[in-house]
Amino acid sequence: MHVGRLCVMKVSLLSVKMMDERYDVVVVGGGPAGSVTARTAARHGLNVLLIERNQEIGVPVRCAEGVSKGVERFIRLDKRWICAEVKGANIYSPDGTKITLGGDKMEEVGYVLDRKQFDKALANDAAAAGADVRVKTEARGVITDAGHVKGVYARSMNGEERIYADIVVGADGVESKIGRWAGVCKPLRPPDICICAEYLMCDVDIEEYSEFFLGRGVAPKGYAWVFPKGHNCANVGVGISGDMSGDGHRAIDYLRAFVRDKFPEARALTEIYGAVPVCGPLVRSTASGLILVGDAARQVNPLTGGGILYAMHAAEIAGDVIAKAIQEGDTSAERLREYESRCRSEFGKRLETGLRAKEFFFRLSDEDLNILAHSLEGITLKELSTGALLLELIKRNPGRLVGLAKLIF
């Protein structure tokens, strides 16, 4: 039924000439943040349109595809979307010292998904809830009236169109055009971005553990990762700080070197590039008639780069706040700030801790990282979470990490 609805909508996109339209909500971007916002708002009885500029939801994939098992709070998982279930994580310091994290609580990576299928399922859920979903429809600007966002200018296969809405949701990624057009956010500075390159590789000998590699030679102000995808395949990637990128020192250069060293016999099946905001969430992610969600609102853990769950959590909050605001007839910036306050209350502390920890660790040398890793050598931490790792490091290195302890407590 869901697939049929999407097919009908694709046909209508080809056959109906649209000039001006009216919706309660228009959501720009068909990733997890956009689909969950659309689904939530539609379930509240609102007339919702979700637009995606690409011709297919979930394509291209720009993600390492790891997510915690907390994703089950937001959608009933289908085993077809899960490539691997991760038992824990191995973190390697620059000199190769291994730290193992495991246990039932896995904050960052519990599953490795097939994001293409996962994103489609979320869009199908939005459609099943009553939202209209349109692909190959690109937002070209925001419609404003006296500083209040009233909709978007868009371009589809049928040409230019105006889509009016009480609230516009920007779920259009790390360099959100919706946010910039509305004057809510500015372009990110290089240090605020993690630039990533990734291969999907086959003939990779890896157990059911995610692996992370640290070191200036591996990934300056970042890390390399290997996420199992089953059948001897894995996502192998590198993320580096934007201010460390340059000729001969791009993310792809570090990835090629990493693969030559670790997996010389493996073969790359796909090549993926992307960027992640690692500066902490926007202080303001709303304006009159506007809400930003997910990467557009920079709702990403700056230390790990993980953002899927935060995006979906924020999207549910956004959909709920939008429904109440429209029912009350008040879509002002003041009314929509409930969204920001709830996001800060429900997961803001974790993002703030991640930002402070990132800034602290990025100042450390490879030698410092090796010393910290040696303090945990031979120990298996029973919880795969950023907080558990930081607490154990501080406990075992109180003198060295007194600055970190002051930052996060």
Digitized pLDDT (tens) for each residue of the chain, 409 residues in all: 333 334 333 333 444 454 799 999 999 999 999 999 999 999 999 999 999 999 999 988 888 898 988 899 999 989 889 999 988 889 999 999 998 887 655 556 689 999 999 999 999 999 999 999 999 999 999 999 999 999 999 999 889 999 999 999 999 999 999 999 999 999 999 999 999 999 999 999 888 899 999 999 999 999 999 999 999 999 999 999 999 999 999 999 999 999 999 999 999 999 999 999 999 999 999 999 999 999 999 999 999 999 999 999 999 999 999 999 999 999 999 999 999 999 999 999 999 999 999 999 999 999 999 999 999 887 777 666 677 788 888 888 888 787 777 766 6
User: What is the pLDDT, as a whole number, of residue 174?
Assistant: 95
User: What is the pLDDT, as a whole number, of residue 60?
Assistant: 86
Cis peptide bond N-terminal to 94, omega within 30: no
Q: Which helix (H) or strand (E) holds 333?
A: helix 333-343
CA 242 to CA 238: how far, in whole Å? 12
One-letter amino acid identity for 29? G
Q: What is the pTM of this model?
A: 0.91
User: What is the pLDDT, as a whole number, of residue 17?
Assistant: 52
CA 5 to CA 7: how far, in whole Å? 5
User: What is the pLDDT, as a whole number, of residue 212?
Assistant: 95
Q: List the one residue out of 345, 406, 356, 363 whose CA is nearest residue 386.
A: 356
CA 394 to CA 251: how far, in whole Å? 31
| Nearest-10 Cα torsion for 140, 309, 73, 70 | 160
Q: How are beta strands 290-292 and 286-287 bridged, if at all?
A: antiparallel
CA 167 to CA 148: how far, in whole Å? 10
Sheet strands side by side (includes 223-230): 267-277, 193-202, 233-241, 223-230, 209-213, 88-92, 98-102, 380-381
Q: List the one residue out of 216, 228, 203 whose CA is nearest residue 254.
A: 216
According to DSSP, the residues that pair with 26 across neighbouring strands are 49, 168
User: What is the pLDDT, as a whole number, of residue 108?
Assistant: 60
According to DSSP, the residues that pair with 272 across neighbouring strands are 198
CA 293 to CA 312: how far, in whole Å? 9
Strand, helix or coil at 354? Answer: helix
User: What is the pLDDT, as a whole number, of residue 407?
Assistant: 65
Q: Quick one: CATH architecture of 2-60+116-188+280-352?
A: 3-Layer(bba) Sandwich (3.50)
Residue 209 burial (CB count, 10 A):
19
User: What is the pLDDT, as a whole number, of residue 207?
Assistant: 83
According to DSSP, the residues that pair with 53 across neighbouring strands are none
Alpha helices in 19-67 (DSSP H): 32-43
